[in-house]
Amino acid sequence: MMSFSGEPETNFAKLYFEREKLTLMLRTKDLEGTVRNPIGANKAREILDHLENYNGSMSSQWKARANANQEALERGSARDYAEVYKGLSQLEAEGTLRASDRAHLNQSLELLSEELANALNKTPAQARKLIVSQ
């Protein structure tokens, strides 16, 4: 926590986002509504189980599918990342991926790998192996 002159009794938190190489300073009173806590190991295992058993379907219309996947990725939920990844990896196995699908597949795998690696104390590469094996 940091405090600057100007606003009395205002403290700031400094957040570093490794993937973007971005440092963000945010008032501590704004943290709760802006930043979510990372998932823990139990939640990570639940997500891996969900990934293994998930059989959701994706829209056959590419534009609707792309919009739905983009919205899911923007929500910032590891469960959503897993569902986007699983749905698109199933489409990939059928050979029906478009460019936007491939971008969302790669993005969901990257985000999910990062989230699970943090939660399970693994490297992103180790987490990726866990995801791909589901």
pTM beyond 0.85 = no
Topology of domain 41-132, per CATH?
A: Methane Monooxygenase Hydroxylase; Chain G, domain 1 (1.20.58)
Please tell me the predicted confidence (pLDDT) of residue 109. Answer: 97
* Predicted pLDDT of residue 134: 82
pLDDT of residue 9: 75
> What whole-number distance in Å separates Cα of residue 16 and Cα of residue 4?
19
Task: Give the model confidence (pLDDT) of 111-129 as tens digits.
Answer: 999 999 999 999 999 999 9
Q: Is 28 left (phi over 0), alpha (psi -120 to 50) or beta?
A: alpha
Domain boundaries, the chain: 2-34, 41-132
The reported pLDDT for the residue numbered 22 is 93
Average pLDDT score over residue span 72-81: 95
